[in-house]
Chains A and B, each alone.
Chain A
Amino acid sequence: MQVKEYLSNVRDGQINLEEFLAELIEKTQKMQEKYSPFVTINEKIDIKSLKKGNLYGLPISVKDNICTKGLRTTAGSKILQKYVPPFDSYVTKRVKEGGGVIIGKTSMDQFGHGVFNINTPFGVPKNPWDIERSCGGSSGGAGCLVNIADFPHVAIAESTGGSISCPAAFTNTVGITPTYGRVSRWGLISYANSLDKIGTMSKSVEDASLLLSVIAGHDPMDSTSIELEREDYTSYLKNDVKGMKIGVPKEYFGEGVDKKIKNRIWENIKLLEDLGAEYEECSLPHTDVVVPTYYIIAMSETSTNLAKLCGLRYGLEKEIKIGESFNDYFSRVRKEGFGDESKRRIIMGTYVRMTGYRDQFYLKAMKVRRLVIQDFKKAFKKYNVLVSPTMPILPPKFSEIENLNPIQTYMLDILTIPPNLAGVPMISVPGGFSDDLPVGMHIIADHLQEKKMIQVAHTFEQNTDYHKKQPVKK
């Protein structure tokens, strides 16, 4: 059942919400046992307090780095394992105003630090297409849940360098990462503030657009929030790409990209051509420097964001030893509370902003970011959208991931980082299969041009049935 239909059924009283939600909690507990999509399941849903708004009764999951008042929010980390926010994020406030039901907090790499959702002390979500494989990250829990939920559901996720697109591609779901500033970050536990974007994950482009229409909008509590009128993104769901100009960045079909994935995407591009779109190969010349640029900025910011988690006000509270200095205590708490990848990013992030390296790394990266933005601006003068593979590889096995070193892992972000770094919107849609595993197709648009990518994505979805395919239950 599509979300729209469900909402109207609830409104009409055709669905008994109380029974439905009671059953849903049981279902989620079973799913958790098998796939671990959650960090926390919300077991105290109060139907009476639900507002009768436009999301009345809709189950919504929230990535665990987004604050939910009174509901534990860990950002996937041990150091925040007991953090219960006293306030709601902007997006969850909007969801509650609309009468949505927050069913739980979904798993993630701690603080968004990862590509496979394995960097967490809580359960690692398993890919429904093959439980030996990763759901992708960092919003792996959201992708997993969207795929396995046999009930109407949409997910709120968040992307810094590809954390929505990657799990969308690996779990055969739809993920929208909107323009930076479209959705308020108030209440988001920041990874890298200048890159963080809250977005949606769902089974269809329609469901994603519906949720985006609710959570996007100007919020004075986030200074980087764009001052624009609200948009109804579902109004762009047109089955029509005639005359649409598509750019195909040749760098995104390079050496590191799985041949089978390249072929799959080319077939999809041909389909769009058959449907009336025009395509052309193009170039985004700064692609080779985006990964280091992104990581320098993201790590610089994250190393300052996480400084507050030291066991004084936030973070694990430990017994203070007699004679222990502030610094010794802070170090002890942080050593225990942060995982290896977060420690790595804190150390590297601190290094690149130190006197003597700051100019060479941090400030230079800030300048290169502008060049990357210019690449996109130039391309979007000619094209309405850019189309490419979302991820260069198929969902890997956990055993394969163990053999990757950090640099190899970081390089897997090569296709999702550029648009994330530039702050342009993107959508990853189910783009077919290879070796019985899902392939994600990335559609990127210019700043604030979500409507273009939604239109192309919707048309593609209407003319394929990849998004309807479900894993064969083993």
Chain B
Amino acid sequence: MKIGLEIHVQLNTKSKLFCSCSTDYRDSKPNSTTCPICLGFPGSKPKVNKKALDYGISIAHALNCEVLSEMFFSRKSYLYPDMSKNFQITQFEIPLARKGYLTINSNGKEKRINITRIHLEEDPAKLVHVGGDITTADYVLIDYNRSGIPLCEIVTEPDFSDPKEVREFLVKLSTLLEYLGVYDSSLEGSMRVDVNLSIEGGKRVEIKNMSGFAKIEKALNYEVVRQKSVLRKGEKVVRETRGFDEAQGTTKTLRTKELEEDYGYIFEPDLTKIEISKEWKQGIKTTIPELPDHLVKRYQEKYDLSDYQAKVIVYTGKDFSRFFEECCKLLDKHQMVAKWMITHLLKCLNYQGIRIKNSKLSVENFAKFLEMMNKGEIPKRLGKEMIKEITMTGEDPEEYLSKKGLKMVSKQELKKIVDKILQKNKDAVKDYKSGEEKALDFLIGEVLKEIKSAGDPKQIREIIQASVAQ
């Protein structure tokens, strides 16, 4: 089985690729973030957003690609209603970069997925199919807000040998791009993937325009089964383009292509050749932050995390790993931070369906919470419940406890009180020493009375036992 990917990533620049319209279109009124350039008005001309080039070069570096020293934009011609000009400005024979790789983990082994090329292009407008899907809709609306959003297309070699690898790669790539700060994975449709898949004895089939890693894996698994069963029946797998029907979990034919589509590429004559100097490339290199693979290694070394822990923290996202590091600055108990983040905090966030960067919980309060847990100021049984609530409310843990009347007396304070109670009840101490367990319960009761139950009986018992044993 051979699988290759074409991944379209929306770059999170402030303005579009060829005009100064905002890229923040998802919450905007349809067709409001547009201008004569992204609407392709007769007489308008594109102008390259240099920031998008910076981002492209940065991606190329991170994927170990060779960045070419000069590049051109080209026109890719096809008539389709989502294209304001009926051609797309993209890159053809001379892309931004080529020949790179990204390593993934496949069945416990490292595997290199080769990158063929990386180029920049403009996103077409968004078509809204009303009353059905692309084949059944009553009518179609066009929203040009998306028209001209910078896309970085990453093309891989057909190096994947199963759908699981594809998912592993996409997760890794998505995380990498997010760490680079060039893309926002939380935005709907910010990464769209076309997949080319062929199995032994069949022709190459393209499945277009999918997003969501789990969904893609599912679509590919379906497609593999479908192709195998076609061959088993003695029929032929034909060269075609298919689409994924999410509702049914199946793929269906969009168009068969006997011939390669002819896009009649020419160089974009409204734009000049762009030279990418060594200084420019080098300058971008210095802005590249620490990337996931390196981070995983560093967490293992610096914070003594396991491979698993480090990976979970890093791959949950840039905001999550940053939260971890900030928290470790405030609290020396790195294992505790890691454990709580991975087992409890992550669960709370997933439950709320948000990311740590959108949560009300501050690093300070999280660290304080852990510190208090550590000191026994919070009953252990309350910990899980409490983290859930303060993640939602963002409350200071101390205030939370006072409000709930659950503020615990600290261990130190508790020791003093225990001493006082033992002094007062020497008889009971004597009884206890002589083996009367009930006397211990009495003493615990006295302490709890004194602190108005703001303490963990188990902890009090331990303190009394230790004190009596001296």
Question: What is the interface of chain A, defined by CB distance below 8 A to chain B?
Answer: 66-67, 73, 75, 80, 83, 85-87, 89, 185-190, 192-194, 220-224, 300-301, 303-304, 307-310, 312-314, 326-327, 330, 350, 353-355, 358, 362, 366
Contact = CB atoms under 8 A, between A and B. Distances in A.
A197 to B, nearest CB: 13
Contact of B79 (A193, A314, A327): A327
Contacts of A355: 260, 262, 264
A326 B41 contact: no
Interface string B32-48: 00001001111111111
Contact of B41 (A86, A192, A300): A86
A224 B273 CA distance: 10
B84 A308 contact: yes
A193 B265 CA distance: 15
B87 to A, nearest CB: 5
Nearest to B274: A223
> Which of A66, A304, A314, A330 is packed against the most chain B CB atoms within 10 Å?
A304
12 contacts: A85-B42, A187-B44, A193-B270, A222-B45, A224-B270, A301-B266, A303-B264, A307-B86, A312-B81, A313-B39, A314-B42, A326-B81
Contacts of A190: 269-270
A392 to B, nearest CB: 28
Interface of B: 36, 39-48, 75, 77, 79-81, 84-87, 260, 262, 264-267, 269-272
Given A192-B269, A354-B264, A358-B265, A307 B42 contact: no
> Which of A66, A89, A308, A314 is packed against the most chain B CB atoms within 10 Å?
A308
> Which of A192, A312, A327 is packed against the most chain B CB atoms within 10 Å?
A312
A331 B271 CA distance: 29
Contact of A304 (B48, B80, B87, B271): B87
Nearest to A366: B267
Q: Secondary structure at chain A's binding surface: helix, strand, loop or mixed? A: loop
Nearest to B80: A326
Contact of A307 (B36, B39, B44, B87): B87
B41 A87 contact: yes
A319 B260 CA distance: 33
Contacts of B44: 87, 186-187
B40 A308 contact: yes
Nearest to B139: A320
Nearest to A224: B272
Contacts of B47: 220-221, 223
B43 A301 contact: no
Contacts of A75: 42
A328 to B, nearest CB: 11
A300 B266 contact: yes
Nearest to A351: B264
A284 B77 CA distance: 35
A330 B87 contact: no
B266 A223 contact: no
Nearest to A74: B42
Contact of B43 (A67, A220, A309, A358): A67
Contacts of A222: 45, 270
A307 B272 contact: no
Contacts of A66: 43
A223 B45 contact: yes
A80 B43 CA distance: 12
Contacts of A300: 266
A83 B266 CA distance: 27
A353 B42 contact: no
Nearest to A326: B81
Nearest to A83: B42
Contacts of A353: 77, 264-266
A147 to B, nearest CB: 28
Given A307-B79, A307-B85, A358-B264, A189 B43 contact: yes
A85 B271 CA distance: 22
A421 B84 CA distance: 29
Contacts of A221: 45, 47
B95 to A, nearest CB: 17
Contacts of B36: 86-87
Contacts of A193: 45, 269-270
A188 B41 CA distance: 11
Nearest to A315: B42
Contacts of B40: 308, 313-314
Nearest to A301: B269
B82 to A, nearest CB: 10
A80 B266 CA distance: 25
B45 A186 contact: yes
A360 to B, nearest CB: 14
Given A313-B84, A354-B262, A194 B43 contact: no
A301 B75 CA distance: 9
A80 B41 CA distance: 12
A355 B77 CA distance: 12
Given A85-B43, A220-B47, A327-B79, 17 more contacts: A73-B42, A87-B36, A87-B43, A185-B45, A190-B270, A223-B271, A303-B264, A310-B79, A314-B40, A314-B41, A330-B79, A350-B77, A350-B264, A353-B264, A354-B262, A354-B264, A358-B265
A304 B42 contact: no
B319 to A, nearest CB: 37
Nearest to A193: B269
Contact of B77 (A67, A86, A304, A327): A304
A303 B263 CA distance: 12
Contacts of A358: 264-265
Contacts of B81: 312, 326
